[in-house]
Amino acid sequence: MLTVADYQALAEFRYQIRKFLHFSDRAVEAAGLERGQYQLMLSIKGMSQDLRPRIRDLAHMLQIQHHSAVELINRLESGGYVSRERSAEDRREVLLALTPKGEKVLAELALHHHEQLQDAAPRLVAALRRVTAGKAKTRKRQEASGS
């Protein structure tokens, strides 16, 4: 069973996340993008070396449906932020890449996000520690009571 302190810790952690996401949404909007577009561009740039920048992999990373990823990509492509290419190994496969314009906008946004996280990190980490400390205490109480 959760205590009042557990609920307070969860609420504080969610608040700190919302503050960062609010900052992110404003920064992305000021750059002329949508939240999902920024996340997709960041996913392309930050993709693991063992993955290829395919639509299905990006949809999985963003936890969205394939058709939703296609819509994001279409808007990014029409804005000049990403390009599509056929794979040299499998011509059926479409790979995505950031254009120079996409690289520039992403670099600026990512730098702002990195700076904001540097500032917000102590509060986020402290809130997360309170949540996980509360969970450990709850688990110990349950074990002691035989639940």
- Reference 57, options 100, 5, 25, 46; nearest CA is 46
Q: What is the dihedral of CA 64, 98, 96, 35, to 10 degrees?
A: 10
Its pTM stands at 0.83
Structural domains in the chain?
4-145 (1.10.10.10)
84 forms beta bridges with: 96
Residues 84-122: tens digit of each pLDDT = 998 778 778 889 999 999 999 999 999 999 999 999 999
Half-sphere exposure of 66 (CA within 13 A, CB side): 4
Structure tokens at 105: 């906008």
Q: Are 115 and 100 in contact (CB under 8 A)?
A: no
Residues 2-54: tens digit of each pLDDT = 899 999 999 999 999 999 999 999 999 999 999 999 999 999 999 988 888 88
